[in-house]
Amino acid sequence: MLNPFENDERRAFQDSVRKFMETEINPYVDEWDEAGGYPHEVNEKVCALGVFGFDIPEEYGGLGFDDMHMRKAVGLEMGRSSAGGVMASVGARSIMLKPLTELANDEIKARALPDLLSGKKGGALGITEPGGGSDVANIKTVAHKDSDEWVLNGQKMFITGGMQASYFVIAARTGKDGMGGISLFFVDADTPGFTRTPIERKMGWWASDTATLYFDDCRVSADNLMGEENKGFYAIMNNFNYERFLMAAQMTGMSMRLFDECVAYAQDRETFGDKLISHQVIRHKLADMSARIDAMDAYLNQVAEIVNRGENALAEISKLKFYCSTNLEENASAAMQIMGGAGYLRGNAVERIYREVKVQAIGGGSEEIMRDLSVRLMGI
Amino acid sequence: MKILVPVKRVVDYNVKIRVKPDQTGVDLANVKMSMNPFCEIAVEEAVRLQEAGTATEIIVVSVGPTQAQETIRTALAMGADRGILVKTDDDLEPLGIAKVLKAVVEAESPDLVILGKQAIDGDNNQTGQMLSALLGWSQGTFASELGIDGDKVNVTREIDGGLQSVKLSMPAIITTDLRLNEPRYASLPNIMKAKKKPIDEKQLAEYGVDAAPRLEIVKVAEPAEREAGVKVETVGELVDKLKNEAGVL
Ligand SMILES: Cc1cc2nc3c(=O)[nH]c(=O)nc-3n(C[C@H](O)[C@H](O)[C@H](O)COP(=O)(O)OP(=O)(O)OC[C@H]3O[C@@H](n4cnc5c(N)ncnc54)[C@H](O)[C@@H]3O)c2cc1C
Ligand SMILES: Cc1cc2nc3c(=O)[nH]c(=O)nc-3n(C[C@H](O)[C@H](O)[C@H](O)COP(=O)(O)OP(=O)(O)OC[C@H]3O[C@@H](n4cnc5c(N)ncnc54)[C@H](O)[C@@H]3O)c2cc1C
């Protein structure tokens, strides 16, 4: 569908990312998924495109500008590649860069940002705990002040990129119960008292390294407190908007890939003496998929433009995320059905995307939480 | 050292092309266009020479419609310094392009011209050679390796029997083969920088060359569909089929 917000740079950038994915990622997706990992230099290659530097000053290796339409292009092409696991792991840095840039002190920024943006080192964001992820206000990991240090105790679970990461942004309780007692900390992976173990055998995202993190009297300098004490919750919520927007764009790209795979298969496959593509039942499925994709795409464009203009789009981003995940689920189901038995076999994009629907519907704010939040933000 | 790199806007290599129903050419409506892959290799090689400190300026030139500007921008985003767009809506033949390029070379005086060995649309494989003849410069075609050595350039050429090494005096013409390098992807910071690099727009008429077509296209058709192979039982049967069915003996 024609994008009314396209211009030369946006198109050139999306073309470049797409070509990169098609050449450097797509041919290896199955292999890396089965292996449960990917070569480290992929981090550097993806980062070299400049896909994570939005709204980060150039002195730290960032772009020095922001553009939601370009952020959308990144998500779209990552999703289309069907390399969900690889992109989740490489992209884990993207969900901790904003708090790092806005809240960490200059020494930490100068040390961590260039390495994270060039892909030399990995980063991860630790909010979710074994006790729960939706109820962020009730996290149990604690940090208490001991002279000029903070001492962290607790666990974080489901942390994407957590096995590779050198740097973490961690939420911990520093004050009273509830949202007003949470702070953010910068933690180096080699800090004594910090350990991690991999979470293996997931439904999808096989190529991504998901970790459980343990903090046992893990001491960090007072300077590692990011932003104001007990103001972490607001930073977390603010940060989620960019993650959710990126996920929505990925889901749209994943849907575009599903559509292309089905059309190609249906044009080739014959049943009952005719090409699958000429059976009306299949054609209607494709029409529905295409209409859903157009709607997701248009919704993304609209939200991107609102945010670019500096307007508040918090309710819209929450709605966008669950709108995209429910539509992705329908698209994945339709695509799988069109492929018949062939889709059920491992090693094809449709099967892989089908297994990655739920992480999009649950991670980064589940559908239920997104619905709840959006009506609340609308003042209802 | 100054390098001129001509680039061509062609149908993207991923597009499944369709022939127009009236068989006058390929359907270009709503088709994704990109830089010819061999031209990308040429740009990459020039940028590498600049990064190595050998080249001082890279100029890209494209002869084509207004949209060929995008192709020039892509080259600028890869690292070239400035562009020249010679505007024409006509589809020029290699000889016409070579004549325009000769005029550009005379105006810019580059030490090297690096071109793709062919464009993936017409697969002509002629422009570099014709330009070399028109200028009277040495040519190193189908390069898979290139090294500057003072005022000489060493080129490893991919030929049917293997590899051939030649030493050319500059100024010279190089055409690139697939294995010369792997072109980089334009990064977002470089795409933004490319926006500010100058592109000089010229009209084809300004060069005063006779670029009129010498060839007439009779028709463009899809290649015959490939049929499934057959197994033969004996050598006799094979010879019979080659003679009587395939008509090649
Ligand atoms: C592969 C993967 C990668 C992840 N990566 C990260 C990461 O990098 N960093 C990080 O911090 N987290 C990460 N997460 C965690 C993710 O954010 C959480 O899984 C998510 O927020 C949901 O939390 P939960 O799993 O604890 O489910 P719960 O909070 O226990 O919720 C279970 C179910 O109940 C629903 N529910 C909960 N409360 C309510 C309510 N009040 N009303 C109605 N329904 C409700 C939820 O919507 C959900 O469907 C990842 C998760 C996965 C699966
Ligand atoms: C794990 C697994 C185990 C299996 N085990 C067995 C087994 O033990 N024995 C056995 O014989 N088979 C088995 N099958 C095969 C199974 O029965 C077929 O996959 C199923 O019948 C569909 O056939 P197909 O995969 O060839 O899809 P296709 O026939 O190619 O159909 C593809 C899609 O198009 C739809 N479609 C086809 N024709 C039309 C039409 N005219 N109008 C509208 N829609 C149409 C189908 O509903 C389907 O959604 C197995 C399959 C799997 C995945």
pLDDT in tens, A61-102: 999 999 999 999 999 999 999 999 999 999 999 999 999 999
> By the CB < 8 Å criterion, does A139 face chain B?
no
Task: Give the residue numbers in B contacting A (CB under 8 Å), as ranges.
Answer: 14, 34, 70, 73-74, 77, 185-192, 194-195
Our CA-based measurement puts residue B184 at a distance from the nearest CA of chain A, in whole angstroms, of: 9
User: Could you tell me the pLDDT band of residue A137, with boundaries at 50, 70 and 90?
Assistant: very high
Inter-CA distances, A149 with A144, A220, B73, Å: 8, 6, 52
Distance (angstroms) between ligand 1 centre and the Cα of A164 equals: 22
Q: Which residue of A has its CA nearest to B74?
A: A12
Given the CA of residue A345, which atom of ligand 2 is nearest to it?
A: 53
Q: Determine whether the interchain pair B188/A13 forms a contact, defined as Cβ–Cβ distance below 8 Å.
A: yes
User: Are A224 and A169 spatial neighbours (Cβ–Cβ below 8 Å)?
Assistant: no
Candidates B12, B188, B197, partner chain A, best to mutate (most A CBs within 10 A): B188
CA atoms within 13 A of residue A243's CA, in its CB half-sphere: 26
* Within-domain flag for B241: no
What's CA B114's distance to the chain center, in Å?
9
Max intra-chain CA distance, chain B: 70
pLDDT of residue A171: 98
Q: At residue B229, does pLDDT exceed 90?
A: no
Distance (Å) of CA A176 to CA A138, A169, A179, A229: 10, 21, 8, 11
Pick the residue from chain A with its C-alpha nearest to B34. Answer: A15
**Can you give the pLDDT at residue A335?**
98
Question: Is residue A39 in contact with ligand 1, taking CB distance under 6 Å?
Answer: no
Residues of A in contact with B189 (CB under 8 A): 50, 53, 63
Task: Examine residue B236 and state whether it is found in any structural domain, yes or no.
Answer: no
* Alpha-carbon gap: B125 to the closest alpha carbon of chain A (Å): 25
A63 touches chain B (CB under 8 A): yes
CATH number at residue B92: 3.40.50.620
Cα A288 to Cα B65: distance, rounded to the nearest angstrom: 38
In this structure, is residue B231 part of a structural domain?
no
* Angle made by CA atoms A316, A317, A321, in degrees to the nearest 5: 115
Ligand 1 atom having least distance to the Cα of A208: 1
In a domain, B159, yes or no: yes
Rounded to a whole number of angstroms, the CA Rg of chain A reads 21
pLDDT value of residue B224: 86
> Looking at the complex, does the CB of residue A12 fall below 8 Å from at least one CB of chain B?
yes
DSSP string, B142-186: EEEEEEEETTEEEEEEEETTEEEEEEEESSEEEEE-GGG--PPPP
- pLDDT band, residue B129 (cuts 50/70/90): very high
Give the pLDDT score at A371. Answer: 98
pTM for this predicted structure: 0.93
Q: Are B47 and B178 in contact (CB under 8 A)?
A: no
Contact B187 A49 (CB under 8 A): yes
Measure CB to CB from residue B185 to each of A8, A9, A19 and give the nearest one.
A19
Measured CA to CA, the distance from residue A338 to residue A277 in angstroms comes to 10
Least confident of B99-108, B127-136, B238-247: B238-247
Tell me, in angstroms, the distance from the centre of ligand 2 to residue A326's CA.
Answer: 26
Give the total number of structural domains in chain B: 1
Distance between CA atoms of B22 and B54, rounded to whole angstroms?
Answer: 50
Distance, CA of B183 to CA of B178 (rounded, Å): 10
Query: pLDDT band for position A225 (50/70/90)?
Result: very high
Residue A131 has phi, psi (to 5 degrees) of: -75, -10
Supply the pLDDT for residue B248: 86
Nearest to B99 by CA among B213, B215, B216: B213
**Structural domain harbouring B82:** 2-224
Enter the tokens of residue B151. 């005022």
pLDDT band at A1, cuts 50/70/90? confident
Convert the pLDDT of each residue in B70-106 to its tens digit.
999 999 999 999 999 999 999 999 999 999 999 999 9
Residues in A closer than 8 angstroms to B194, CB to CB, are 12
**A243 annotated active-site:** yes
Is ipTM beyond 0.85? yes
Query: From the list B188, B194, B195, which residue is nearest A50 (CB)?
Result: B188
A21–B contact, CB cutoff 8 A: no
Question: Which position among A59, A102, A149, A243 bears the catalytic label?
Answer: A243
Q: What is the mean pLDDT of residues A317-331?
A: 98
**Local structure of B82: helix, strand or coil:** strand
CB-nearest partner of A50 from B73, B187, B194 = B187
CA B61 to chain A, closest CA, distance in angstroms equals 18
Q: For residue A9, what pLDDT is reported? A: 95
Looking at ligand 1, which residue's alpha carbon is closest to its atom 44? A368
For the cut 90, the answer to whether the pLDDT of residue B227 exceeds it is no
Residue B238 within a domain? no
Which residue minimizes the CA distance to atom 14 of ligand 1? A158
What average pLDDT does range A233-237 have in this prediction? Answer: 94
A-B Cβ pairs (cutoff 8 Å, strict): 45
Q: Answer yes or no: are the C-beta atoms of B38 and B44 closer than 8 Å.
A: no
Alpha-carbon distance A219 to A210, whole Å? 23
Q: What confidence score (pLDDT) does residue B230 get?
A: 87
Q: At residue B228, does pLDDT exceed 90?
A: no
Lowest mean pLDDT among A93-107, B8-22, B125-139, B217-231: B217-231
**B189 vs A20, A22, A50: nearest CB:** A50
Please give the mean pLDDT across all residues of chain B.
95
The Cα-based distances of A290 to A63, A151, A325, A369, B15 in angstroms read 34, 52, 15, 27, 20
Q: Is residue B215 part of a domain?
A: yes
Q: Which domains does chain A possess?
A: 8-118 (1.10.540.10), 122-232 (2.40.110.10), 234-377 (1.20.140.10)
Cis amide leading into B171 (omega within 30): yes
Among chain A residues, the shortest Cα distance to B78 is held by: A16
Cβ neighbours of B202 (radius 10 Å):
18
* Bridge pairing between strands B138-149 and B172-176: parallel
CA atoms in the 13 A half-sphere facing the CB of A355? 21
Nearest of A202, A208, A307 to residue A248 by alpha carbon: A307
Residues listed for chain B: 249
Residue B225 has pLDDT above 90, yes or no: no
Q: Examine residue B230 and state whether it is found in any structural domain, yes or no.
A: no
Chain A contact set for B70 (CB, 8 A)? 8, 11-12
| pLDDT, chain A, mean | 97
Instruction: Return the residue of B nearest to A23 by Cα.
Output: B185
Alpha-carbon span A198 to B31, nearest angstrom = 46
In a domain, B134, yes or no: yes
pLDDT at A103 exceeding the cut of 90: yes
CB contact under 8 A, B187 and A16: yes
Nearby residues of B249 by Cβ (< 8 Å), 6 or more positions away:
B239, B242, B243
Residue B249 has pLDDT above 90, yes or no: no
Answer yes or no: is pLDDT of B176 > 90.
yes
Q: What percent of chain B has pLDDT over 90?
A: 91
Distance CA A261, CA A280 (A): 18
**Tokens standing for A271?**
């049943």
Cβ of A51 under 8 Å from any chain B Cβ?
yes
Q: What are the backbone dihedrals phi and psi of residue B13, each rounded to the nearest 5 degrees, phi first?
A: -65, -20
